[in-house]
Amino acid sequence: MNSAVTGSKGTRLMEEYLDKPIFVVMRDGKYMVGTLRSYDQYYNILLEDSTEYTTSSTEYSSIESESVLLRGENIILLGEGTFSHEEMEKVPEITEKVKTNDDLDYIAL
């Protein structure tokens, strides 16, 4: 990936986020927070010192990583800043609860 990609307005805006903390909302509903180190023309991004958050209405769980590569097609939104979880309770694992709720919604359809 090349952090010096130039051209479209979107990639020029991405340059402003380089080496800054950003949050990313993923297609599967998870949130990522980390420092943007690189990106390419497909908006694949490399985050360092990242944390992945899985949330439920009043709970969250988190997984920390040194670096993570996110595919651009799975990114819904990104911006400068962090994820606020002050009013939520941290739990060890929430992925099973979220998956079960999603499965029940699918079956109910």
pLDDT at residue 93, as a whole number: 67
Burial grade of 81 (CB within 10 A; 0-12, 13-18, 19 or more): exposed
pLDDT band at 82 (very low <50, low <70, confident <90, very high): confident
Whether pLDDT at 3 is above 50: no
Closest by CA position to 22, among listed 100, 55, 14: 14
- Helix ranges (H only) for the chain are 9-17, 95-108
Return the minimum-mean-pLDDT range out of 46-55, 71-80, 94-103: 94-103
Burial grade of 87 (CB within 10 A; 0-12, 13-18, 19 or more): exposed
DSSP string of 64-81, one letter each residue: EEEEEEE-GGGEEEEEES
Domains for the chain: give ranges and CATH numbers: 9-108 (2.30.30.100)
Residue pair 12/6 in contact (Cβ under 8 Å)? The answer is yes
Cα gap 45→38, rounded to integer Å: 6
Scanning the structure block, which residue is given the tokens 């909302």?
25
Cα gap 24→81, rounded to integer Å: 9
Dump pLDDT digits (tens) for 40-71: 999 999 999 999 988 877 888 889 999 999 99
